[in-house]
Structure formats: structure tokens, C-alpha cells
Structure 1
Amino acid sequence: MTAPDSEFPLEDTSPADAGAIEQSATLGTGSAIALGCTLLSVILLVLAILIILAMDRF
């Protein structure tokens, strides 16, 4: 079964589509960086709380 050429044109990648693909890739990288920063800040917060509790004991 072959689809007609009008249904699936081969050279139909307009600059808008390429921009959308590029934007989604950038968004994925940005969210990964944001997730890393969030995890880092949570870890630092837990470390700070542990240090404060340890200083209270001595």
C-alpha cells in the first residue's frame, strides 16, 4: 500500500517546523538544568540543616 504524494509530501519541512523542533529541544535542556538546580538546592538545604543540628549538639 503506497500513500499518495499529496498526503505525505517529502519536502514539507518549513522553517516554522524546524524552529518548533529546535525550541522543544532547548526546552528539554532547560528543564533538565532546572531540575538539576532544584536537586542541588534541596541537597544543600538538607546539608545546612544537618550542620545546624550537629552544631546544636556540641
Structure 2
Amino acid sequence: MGRLTRIEHGRVTHAAVTMPTGVEYAGGKLYATSWSIAGFFGLKDAGRLVQVNPHAFR
């Protein structure tokens, strides 16, 4: 439930990331938050920071 969208040279691809709310590109790597709003569903401490592999975009 959730995804990041990349648009590169007019091509649109997506990477699955659960409940993302923030992204950061640093040092040539893409990071995203996941499970960011899990607390609203009673899943306390589920939030994570994940590195998104470029190959995840399909």
C-alpha cells in the first residue's frame, strides 16, 4: 500500500514502499520513510527509513 513514482525522460516507473511520506536523495542514494502513518492503525513503532534500490522501479 504505497509507492514512489519516478519520471525519467518521459518514462514513468514505480517502486513499492509501504506508506511513504518523505524522501531524501543524498550521496547518490534514495531514501524514503515507510510505515510512516502506521501509528494511526495501532502499529506503534512500525516506522522505518529505507534505502530504495534503483532496480526497485518498474
TM-score (norm 1): 0.20
Higher helix share: 1
Higher RCO structure (Cα 8 Å, ≥6 apart):
2
Q: Who wins on radius of gyration, i.e. which is larger? A: 1
Higher strand share: 2
TM-score (norm 2): 0.20
